[in-house]
Structure 1
């Protein structure tokens, strides 16, 4: 498990956890205070000690005390804890340049207070120090800010040279396409071959966007699909768009927290649409408890149009936060722990 997590960190350019001495608890300064610069503020707050360690190791801490302006989307300690690595020496094992780019992804080269973020705009894009885009969604009722699938547990902390938001997840950006991401992950190797066998693979190198809920090898094996048995699950016997293709949502770029924002803005936390090249319908729902700061929980189900009265069928649930919201250049990949439509439901009549 440790080896798997470390490989994911390197691929996704994610930082790892650091433990240090206790600092003051995070507080939002009064308007009458003499504000500290970003680097000093992060250094002197216990809840941000892991983020501070990453900044110091990569040389960005000193930059954060510069003129700026900056907006820091700072993952808290719990966000780093989610990655499962607990020793300061773990930083030394990562490529410093890659880690620096990952940290730059959490910093905007501008001052962006809440009142300048478009109200109820979904995935509004801003450039970060890495030269890439982050996606901000600000739902004004009840004033929740989401960034790339992470949630701002504290907003609008005023600094001498910028603004700081405390986030509950480390954001993940993986250079390349959805196709390249899936091909690089050993746990998706059977699904990759299944997509190739079904003629569904090449599209994932295109412009997109795509949202993919990828079943891993264990999920497929649970339904009897392995590398050895895969040739039997071909288009002669099965509706492969239903069996393997339903997890590819073309033309959509969806972080899991987008559903929570859409619920706040439009009153619905679900998406329902026809499976590409099939008459079955998929239904996606996701919710996040922003008070308990729990990971976003999602469900993926299908509806058989020949028996609509049966409602949602084959529902699969998930909340494995560290495996979701993997942003690539042409889409987003999430992990799915089981097949929604089992092989027998995808058999051709």
Structure 2
């Protein structure tokens, strides 16, 4: 996609004007920049913990999209296990080569050290990566690369379920949900609709599972009315919460629409704190099972 020169320059000037005070300089590596600034303490600690300091402190040419501490807090606050996916996530924020603000704006995609590309778009005059993170400061120059600051962590588009510590891959969706204790209303609804056996048998599903608290938010009498019509509205609603494939949160976050068992599609988004489906927050995710994955949501979705 070719972007007009004057438009690109306007975006670049806005980005340059947003640069905050960060320790930088050609004598500092991109690792030094992260290490010396308190806003990047989570990033620097993760780099250290995963043995990447030598890479980002050594010779080379890198562009690092650096999430702030607040961005990491929001990302991990949604229930992800820090040690399980952080190494992959870090590598997805590093692009080989030096891309200043102008080069980023002029790109549609950027290769990453991890492998998959980052999508670049202009949204409302801002540079947005993967539809998730906004670039808030640019062109922090180091001896071996450039750092741009972003306001959200980019989830890499891979299936990282095997890295999750949640759930039990030897148990079915029905068994894991039962053992969890927060999905009793959902399980009762599945049983009433004759779907409980589906999620106890072999298969490959992603279940966006409303918690008991989510069902409790429905208007009085709604659950009873649905249970009275198990083959109609109840089945439609329940199958709207199921995707016929096993998708990790990273894969969900990198899609825009997901097909469901009831034939409708679920729009995927982000509100800066949570990945959302149909505007509903995914509050706990990558709960492994033998026949798919459970992502807990805080509201019942209505097709």
TM-score, length basis structure 1: 0.50
1:39 aligns with 2:31: yes
Distance between the aligned counterparts of 1:176 and 1:287, measured in 2?
20
Contact 2:281–2:298 (Cα < 8 Å) also in 1: no
**Aligned partner (choices 219, 230, 254) of residue 214 of structure 2:** 219
2:151 equivalent to 1:168: yes
What is the CA-CA distance between 1:64 and the residue it aligns to? 0.8
Q: Which whole-Å deviations, capped at 9, do the CAs of 1:297-327 have from their partners, x for residues lacking one? A: 9684xxxxxxxxxxxxxxxx6457x65899x
1:34 Cα shift? 3.0
Which residue pairs with 1:268 in the alignment? none
Tell whether 2:111 aligns with 1:126: yes
Higher relative contact order (CA 8 A, sep 6+): 2
Aligned to 1:205: 204
* Residues 183, 209 of structure 2: 8 Å contact kept: no
- Candidates 97, 106, 110, aligned match of 2:93: 106
Alignment partner for residue 144 of structure 1, among 114, 121, 127?
127
Q: Name stretches of at least 5 consecutive residues in structure 1 with no aligned partner.
A: 1-24, 85-92, 260-270, 289-293, 301-316, 327-331
Offset, 1:153: 2.5
Q: Deviations over 1:254-283 (max 9, x none)?
A: 649x88xxxxxxxxxxx8x997646xx778
> Within the alignment, does 1:59 sit opposite 2:51 as a pair?
yes
Task: Determine the structure 2 residue equivalent to 1:7.
Answer: none
Matched, 1:336 2:297: yes
The match for 1:246 among 228, 240, 243 is: 240
- Give the drift of 1:222: 5.3
Contact 1:214–1:335 (CA under 8 A) maintained in structure 2: yes
Distance in 1 (CA, whole Å) between partners of 2:197 and 2:42 is 44
Task: Give, in angstroms, the shift of residue 55 of structure 1.
Answer: 1.6
Q: 1:108 to 1:180 in 2, by over 3 A?
A: farther
> What is the number of equivalent residue pairs in this alignment?
252
How far, CA to CA, are the matches of 2:71 and 2:218 in structure 1?
33
Please say if residues 62 and 96 of structure 2, whose CA atoms lie closer than 8 Å, have aligned partners that are also in contact.
yes
8 Å Cα contact 2:253/2:268 also seen in 1: no
Q: Which moved more, 1:170-179 or 1:159-168?
A: 170-179
Distance 2:34 2:299 in 1: 40
For residue 204 of structure 1, report the CA deviation from its aligned partner: 7.7
Q: CA deviation at 1:142?
A: 0.5
Q: Greater CA deviation, 44-53 or 170-179? A: 170-179
Contact 2:285 2:294 in 1 (8 A): yes
Answer whether contact 2:208 2:242 (CA < 8 A) is retained.
yes
Normalised to the residue count of structure 2, the TM-score between the two structures is 0.56
Q: Give the drift of 1:214.
A: 4.1
Residue 231 (structure 2) pairs with residue 237 (structure 1): yes
**Alpha-carbon distance in structure 2 between the residues aligned to 1:144 and 1:38:** 21
Q: 1:336 to 1:80 in 2, by over 3 A?
A: same
Residues 1:169 and 1:94: Cα distance change in structure 2 (over 3 Å): closer
Match of 1:303 in 2: none
Contact 1:119/1:139 (8 A) holds in 2: no
Q: In 2, are the aligned partners of 1:318 and 1:337 still within 8 Å (CA)? A: yes
**1:138 & 1:180 partners in 2: Cα distance?**
38
- The answer (yes or no) to whether the contact 1:198–1:234 under 8 Å persists in 2 is no
> How far apart, CA to CA, are the structure 2 residues paired with 1:94 and 1:143?
29
CA distance in 1, matches of 2:112, 2:70: 25
In the TM superposition, residue 139 of structure 1 has moved relative to its aligned partner by 1.5
Q: What stretches of structure 2 of length at least 5 have no aligned partner?
A: 1-19, 288-292
Alignment counterpart, residue 70 of structure 1, candidates 47, 62, 65: 62
